[in-house]
Amino acid sequence: MFTEIVLLPLVNVIEKSGERNAFCINERFYTYREFAVHISKIRNSLQLIPFKNKNIGLVANDDIETYAAIFAIWMEGLAYVPLHPNTPLDRSLDVIEQAEIKLVINSISDKIFPEVQTIFSSELLFKDLNLTIKTFSEDNLAYILFTSGSTGQPKGVPIARGNIAAFLQSFWETGVKITANDRCLQGYELTFDLSIQSFLVPLVKGACTYTIPHNQIKYSYLYGLLDDHQLTVLPMPPSLIRFLRPYFNEINYPCVRYNLLGAEASQVELISEWCKCVPNAEIYNFYGPTEATIYCSYSAFSKSGDTKNLNGLMNIGKAMKGNSSIIIDDQMNILGENMKGELCISGRQLTTGYLNNPEKNLLAFFQLEYNGSKQRFYRTGDLCCIDSDGDIMYGGRLDYQVKVQGYRIELGEIEFHAREYLKGRNAIAVSFENNIQNTEIALFIEGELANTKELTDYLKLKIPSYMIPAKIVVQNTFPLNSNGKIDRNILKKSLPI
């Protein structure tokens, strides 16, 4: 199915409409024919290398070679593991070791990983088109994404070709209809799974994908793309809309056909204001953890003002076709209507489990009798309930995972590295909303700390930039609750404005 749903449609577009634009990157257009040339160069190079491991590291640059590498890797039945170019070297080496990567593809020749063979894709010469379709097992991995881990070590989420095929089938059932004439935004980092929907959906339909470069301010660059190119499809996190909020009175883009919200909770109040800026757009709120392949549920935003919400957060609708959702309590009982508990997901889009992490798999996945058969479910860690219409109401996280700039992170990972620097002294990370209602991280240090900058510099060597605390607060002692546990709510309330 992956070949028929992903690869064949792309090859058909290349053969029939090779002169059409496939990408606009840094204000330069690339046709589908040019895209095919880059795919072929990389694929030809891959075919010369005997593989002992099917996981290929891919430095996630924003250029045509990087996107082409994804499809070259897929055409060879291999999987890519994105490595962000700005991630600390230690973290990238950890990912390389966990995924047993022996080969990295990099379009820029300024990053070398010790003891790992590298193909510098921008230096390859074109010989001939190499788009022959091979069929591989649906169980073959398509990619592995590494998310934040509470032990200080990122955890790998492997997604198979069959998972992606199931996602695309489910996505088209939502009613979103992309055509070759659409101009689609791709503003997510390639280390984040929503990027896959943002470039894959346009490419299989022959549309053009417009990216936002790493070195640009996203909301201002998006503003320019809308002005200059009249984009029609906007997959984006609500945080990007919050940055645009001061300019709502100046924004009017009737060209936008679809606005696909994702990556974090959507506030109804914000989207109600924003919808006037895209008056002709159908707005959808999509939801899905990495473990369930991009999106697994969705709801449509109602411009008439009757969008369902819980505490101001837009509902995440119903499970997409091929997926199931239930709410459970702490004893694994399935809860009834309007009863809050943990949202659990089942279906064809579900990963087989975390990479080489049986302990985490036992905690996150379980078997349960549901609708007459035994099904495998994933515990999302999200607090939800299902109303009488079958719509899922979203109530936030059950644990200490938070979304920052669309990335799901575990506060425990920040705490782990801070405590490491502090030689075991306690550190607590909490999330808070800044003055434009975007989520940021504050780090509380117990005891004394003469130089917070040195701690920040240390963390920059260990974790990605979006995990760096915006505030560091030093306290003599941490407050405790009645159970003798550190009271994070009191800490959060004590944050200086």
pLDDT (tens digit per residue) in 419-453: 888 877 788 898 888 888 888 999 999 888 878 88
322 occurs within a structural domain = no
Pairing of the two strands 439-446 and 471-475: parallel
Examine the domain organization and report whether 45 and 171 are in the same domain: yes
Task: Output the pLDDT for position 311.
Answer: 80
Examine the domain organization and report whether 130 and 276 are in the same domain: yes
Instruction: Give how far Cα 252 sits from Cα of 223, 230, 282, 299, Å.
Output: 11, 11, 15, 24
Task: Output the pLDDT for position 483.
Answer: 47
Q: Report the CATH number at residue 411.
A: 3.30.300.30
Mean pLDDT of 311-335: 93
320 occurs within a structural domain = no
Which of 278, 313, 348 finishes a domain? Answer: 313
Which of 254, 278, 313 finishes a domain? Answer: 313
Examine the domain organization and report whether 302 and 414 are in the same domain: no
Examine the domain organization and report whether 304 and 412 are in the same domain: no
Examine the domain organization and report whether 290 and 184 are in the same domain: yes
Task: Output the pLDDT for position 481.
Answer: 60
How sure is the predictor about 316, in pLDDT bands with cuts at 50, 70 and 90?
very high
Task: Output the pLDDT for position 482.
Answer: 43
Task: Output the pLDDT for position 403.
Answer: 82
E strand or H helix at 418: helix 411-421
100 occurs within a structural domain = yes
Task: Output the pLDDT for position 264.
Answer: 85
CB neighbour list of residue 78: distance below 8 Å, 6 or more residues apart: 46, 51, 54, 55, 56, 140
Mean pLDDT of 411-420: 84
User: For 485-495, how does the pLDDT look when each residue is reduced to its tens digit (9 = 90+)?
Assistant: 678 888 888 88
Closest CA to 186 of 168, 207, 171, 156: 207
Integer Cα distance of 15 and 29 in angstroms = 18
91 occurs within a structural domain = yes
| Torsions phi, psi for 443 (to 5 deg) | -115, 120
Task: Output the pLDDT for position 188.
Answer: 92
Examine the domain organization and report whether 406 and 301 are in the same domain: no
Instruction: Give how far Cα 97 sits from Cα of 113, 119, 143, 154, 415, Å.
Output: 11, 18, 16, 11, 23
435 occurs within a structural domain = yes
pLDDT at residue 245 above 90?
Answer: no
Examine the domain organization and report whether 88 and 188 are in the same domain: yes
pLDDT at residue 187 above 90?
Answer: yes
Mean pLDDT of 322-327: 96
pLDDT at residue 364 above 90?
Answer: yes
pLDDT at residue 50 above 70?
Answer: yes
User: For 115-126, how does the pLDDT look when each residue is reduced to its tens digit (9 = 90+)?
Assistant: 899 999 999 999
Mean pLDDT of 204-211: 98
How sure is the predictor about 214, in pLDDT bands with cuts at 50, 70 and 90?
confident
Task: Output the pLDDT for position 460.
Answer: 93
User: For 68-108, how does the pLDDT look when each residue is reduced to its tens digit (9 = 90+)?
Assistant: 999 999 999 999 999 999 888 889 999 999 999 999 999 99
Task: Output the pLDDT for position 497.
Answer: 67
Q: Report the CATH number at residue 158.
A: 3.40.50.12780
**What percent of the chain stands above pLDDT 70?**
97
E-strand ranges in 148-251 read 155-160, 183-186, 208-211, 233-236
146 occurs within a structural domain = yes
Task: Output the pLDDT for position 488.
Answer: 81
pLDDT at residue 152 above 70?
Answer: no
382 occurs within a structural domain = no
Instruction: Give how far Cα 183 sits from Cα of 52, 186, 200, 233, 427, Å.
Output: 40, 10, 13, 6, 46
Look-up of token digits 């070759």: 180
Structural domain containing residue 297: 2-313
386 occurs within a structural domain = no
Which of 249, 284, 313 finishes a domain? Answer: 313
Task: Output the pLDDT for position 96.
Answer: 94
Examine the domain organization and report whether 14 and 125 are in the same domain: yes
Task: Output the pLDDT for position 168.
Answer: 97
Examine the domain organization and report whether 432 and 305 are in the same domain: no
User: For 391-406, how does the pLDDT look when each residue is reduced to its tens digit (9 = 90+)?
Assistant: 999 987 776 668 888 8
Closest CA to 75 of 136, 145, 18, 117: 136
- Domains in the chain, number: 2
Task: Output the pLDDT for position 43.
Answer: 97
How sure is the predictor about 246, in pLDDT bands with cuts at 50, 70 and 90?
confident
Examine the domain organization and report whether 204 and 64 are in the same domain: yes
Examine the domain organization and report whether 416 and 307 are in the same domain: no
